[in-house]
Amino acid sequence: MAGGTTEGAPPRAPKVLLGVAGGIAAYKACEILRLLRSAGADVIVVPTPNALKFIGAATFEALSGHPVATDVFTDVPHVAHVATGQQADLVVVAPATADLLARAAAGRADDLLAATLLVTRAPVLMAPAMHTEMWTHPATVENVQRLRQRGLTVLDPAVGRLTGADSGAGRLPEPDQIVALALLLLRRPDALPRDLVGRRLLVTAGGTREPLDPVRYLGNRSSGKQGFAVALVAAARGAQVTVVAANTALIGPPGATIVPVADARDLQARVTELVTDADAVVMAAAVADFRPKVIVASKIKKDNRSEPAALELVTNPDILAGLAADRAGPGSGPAQRPGMPVIVGFAAETGDEHGSVLDHGRAKLARKGCDLLVVNGVGDGRAFEVDDNAAVILAADGSDPIDVPLGPKTVLGAVICDELSRRLSTVDAAL
Ligand code: C5P
């Protein structure tokens, strides 16, 4: 995370400037502020005057621990807009209204937030929220384009319920998604370039549940967090993302299509259908290797007189290996483009007497035939269900392994996106 150290002094908390524009979603800024603070950031809130019609300054002051001003004439001796803009490690604007986007695009300085946006050289993350008509209006579309061209990260809004009875594109992305991307930018200010625009990414996430009877299943501990983190980062980088999600309650990134599935064969059917439209596939789902041979039609009853019957298992199809084999076959792959789709697998490994985590990873990369294999050490509370992950990414083309130290799952997501972006450009160049 940004935030410098001087020798002997404790690391400085990163400074985040949270701009809040005047829309109904302003109340969600309180949650964003709370999440940023619990992640260790020092947050200064700069609302627009209209934002204060929705949320009182006292709320922002109490939650941030800092006074709140909206115009450049407060605290004049300290030249607040210059000071806060210069000191910020990151600026997050949530919600960003159509008016705020327009003023930022035009370079106006008519309130403290707009002036600060001109002063700051820190990365800027904007999370728009407005009615669909305003979001799709050519003026807003142009403003967003200009801001993105200037290097600001402007998220797409989510689709769903808007103010009143309306629904459509224009909802503020979930506060935890905005904060996950903010924390990513604090660690890596270059993590969200618009380099995946026009790329179609298929991600699998979660864990399959293999039914035993109508109420029981064989499952695993995958939460879906790593797959959704890849999807979130890729969508913020402009990719068109579809997530085949096995048994997870997580909310998809704004703009992504979520396809829920239950068991391995279900997942295989949807992936096989969707892969024909994909430029890259990231198989982050934990797919069960085995399933019960028989699914009993009614609940298996306890019989106190005898031991339960042994569970007979059969092997599930290896979907990842199947995708890689199909790609290698004649006339396969989207539009028969050689090397497409780029395929990324995951391997959750524990070392054993036959080899280390990496030995097993290398063997699996060769067996599966994918381009990249993200090797996680698991066990001892690592990788599953938690927010952080560490991995080594192995490549089939012989390029050096990439070591991703323990950090938020979005950081690993960004490294995977870097690799996808590079490999897709290479495929394009070869055409
Ligand atoms: O063989 P293993 O389960 O360790 O491989 C993990 C990788 O293979 C993951 O990318 C997972 O999504 C994929 N997989 C699969 N089909 C299976 C088992 C795993 O696609 N039946």
* Ligand 1 pocket member 202 (CB < 6 A): no
Name the residues annotated as catalytic.
220
Q: Among 363, 357, 352, 274, which Cα is nearest to 319's?
A: 274
| CA distance to 214, 318, 426, per residue, from 306 (Å) | 22, 36, 62
* Ligand 1 pocket member 319 (CB < 6 A): yes
pLDDT score recorded for residue 96: 98
* Distance in angstroms (rounded) separating the CA atoms of residues 225 and 384: 8
Ligand 1 atom nearest 345 alpha carbon: 10
Which residue shows structure tokens 């800024």? Answer: 29
CA–centroid distance, 110 to ligand 1, in Å, is 54
Which of 320, 378, 416 has most ligand 1 atoms within 8 Å of its beta carbon, as the pocket-test mutant?
A: 320
Phi then psi for 166, rounded to 5 degrees?
A: -75, 155
CA atoms within 13 Å, Cβ hemisphere of 380 = 6
* Distance in angstroms (rounded) separating the CA atoms of residues 63 and 70: 17
* Ligand 1 pocket member 16 (CB < 6 A): no
The mean per-residue pLDDT over the stretch 322-347 comes to 79
Q: Higher pLDDT residue, 336 or 54?
A: 54
- Three-state secondary structure call for residue 43: strand
Task: Summarize pLDDT for 130-169 with one digit per residue, the tens.
Answer: 999 999 999 999 999 999 999 999 999 999 888 878 889 9
Vertex 180 angle, CA 58 and 341, to 5° = 155
* Distance in angstroms (rounded) separating the CA atoms of residues 176 and 431: 40
* Ligand 1 pocket member 289 (CB < 6 A): yes
Q: Is residue 14 within 8 Å of residue 37, measured between CB atoms?
A: no
Ligand 1 atom nearest 316 alpha carbon: 21
Q: Going by C-beta distance under 8 Å and a sequence separation of 6 or more, which residues neighbour residue 114? A: 100, 103, 104, 108
* Ligand 1 pocket member 318 (CB < 6 A): yes
Q: Has residue 5 got a pLDDT over 60?
A: no
* Ligand 1 pocket member 316 (CB < 6 A): yes
The mean per-residue pLDDT over the stretch 11-25 comes to 95
Q: What is the pTM of this model?
A: 0.94
Q: Whose CA is nearest to atom 5 of ligand 1?
A: 347
Task: Summarize pLDDT for 205-233 with one digit per residue, the tens.
Answer: 999 999 999 999 999 989 999 999 999 99
End-to-end CA distance of the chain: 39
Domains of the chain: 15-187 (3.40.50.1950), 200-430 (3.40.50.10300)
